[in-house]
Amino acid sequence: MTSNRKQLHLNAFVMPNGHHEAAWRHPSTDPHRAATLKHYVDIARTAERGKLDSLFLADGVALWGNVRYNSHTLFEPLTLLSALAGATEHIGLIATASTTYNEPYHLARKFASLDHLSGGRAGWNIVTSAGEDEARNFNRDARPSHALRYERATEFVEVAKKLWDSWADDAAVIDKASGVYADTDLIHPIDHDGPHFQVRGPLNIPRPVQGHPLLVQAGSSETGKEYAARFAEAVFTAQQTFAEGKAFYDDVKGRLANYGRSREEIKILPGISPVLGRTEAEAKEREAELNALITPAYGVRQLSTMLDHDLTPYPLDGPLPDVGTFTEGAQSRFELVTGLARRENLTIRQLIERLAGGRGHRVFAGTAAQVADQLEHWFTEGAADGFNIMPPTLPSGLEDFVDLVVPELRRRGLFRTEYTATTLRGHYGLARPADRTTVTTTVKEHAA
């Protein structure tokens, strides 16, 4: 069916075996297959079959958690998504990459490459890398402070945008008759000289198909929200309740005018891990089945990392101890987890179980209609522009969502039946950034 109603956006957030920390132990998953390209090709094609906007790969630059008790993300995202670009035609491809442990020229070139190879489907999830273990892999004894990481990230993205714009859209002439490949008057150094980076440019690849790859951000701290308002075009966020989601949505959207942006220029996409069943009871049974596979030692390690506090000496069935009120790590997740523990008076064991399905993102067990009710409520009541779908197991959890929930959303006129655009920006209804090289050149010519 077609509809004139505003429609939501859906992104598939992919982990090797699924988002539940015990997914690798579940009978429906095959951890060996998760180390193959075919596994991800099949997942990407399932998401594309459902006409989802995009596919998203998280990343970190250290060995996460405790690999003794859980599977680990194997592949570097840009490498994997470049392979998936050739196996898909429409779905957006969003990779996570750090501004703390990369250089702008490298990443600008890599994302421009992915955008060209995919025909305009690349997106960059900008992270500042909060882990201490990550710092120790890059000649540092400790991670930079939260404030310093965001200061560097701000300059980093500005440099990347300048590099993407260092070629005008029509700089590549490719005129065989005259022998002119490129108009060098339309290719310019950026001559950036800042506190963190000195980059001459220009980039050694033409301007991306989308102008700039879609810019995504996932931090929900005060600094993170301000950063999102300045740069992000999509925000992946973790909110446990509708009230929290609504407050976050209004907060971020309300900051956009400070940067000359409209509310439509950013899409807020909370994460949700839907556990589906033919009945509510069956969905609850599936959730309990996954939770029964939790290894407490793994959960304690994960929780300790989130809170920057070693919880191994404390009893599992005791309360969460005093972990302070601040971390130099992931501040928004720290606040979410400590708030959840206080609000519901959870023991460490109960908190581990609540976080096992989505690491702080919302988990909802129910029928396809009940999941659709939740998505519709948040969407129509102004708490979300769409959702970051986090299947508890893969590939079965995504197949269930595409085959059961997506048709229900379509019946309600809330989601597309076919792709109507060819680029990731087009899927999200976002404009292509203007060619600043041509604009700058024209201004200089008029001034002369």
> What is the C-alpha separation between 362 and 270, in angstroms, rounded?
8
Is residue 330 scored above 70 in pLDDT?
Answer: no
What average pLDDT does the segment 14-19 reach?
Answer: 94
DSSP output for 190-202: --EE-SS-EE---
pLDDT digits (tens, 9 = 90+) for 347-393: 888 787 777 766 778 899 999 999 999 999 999 999 999 999 999 99
| Sign of the alpha-carbon torsion through 143, 144, 147, 153 | negative
The torsion angles phi and psi of 200, rounded to 5 degrees, stand at -80, -45
CB neighbours (10 Å) of residue 422?
A: 14
The 8 Å CB, 24+ separation contacts for 172-177 are 172/206
Which amino acid is it at 292? A
Q: Which residues of 136-160 are buried (b: 16+ CB within 10 A; e: fewer)?
A: eeeeeeebbebeebbbbbbbbbbbb
Helix (H, G, I), strand (E, B) or coil at 370: helix
pLDDT digits (tens, 9 = 90+) for 116-155: 999 999 999 999 988 888 999 999 989 899 899 999 999 9
Spatial CA neighbour of 357 closest among 23, 28, 59, 71: 23
| Residue 307 and residue 327 in contact, taking contact as beta carbons nearer than 8 Å | yes
H or E element that contains 214: strand 214-217
Average pLDDT across the chain, whole number: 91
pLDDT band of 334, cuts 50, 70, 90:
confident
The torsion angles phi and psi of 216, rounded to 5 degrees, stand at -120, 150
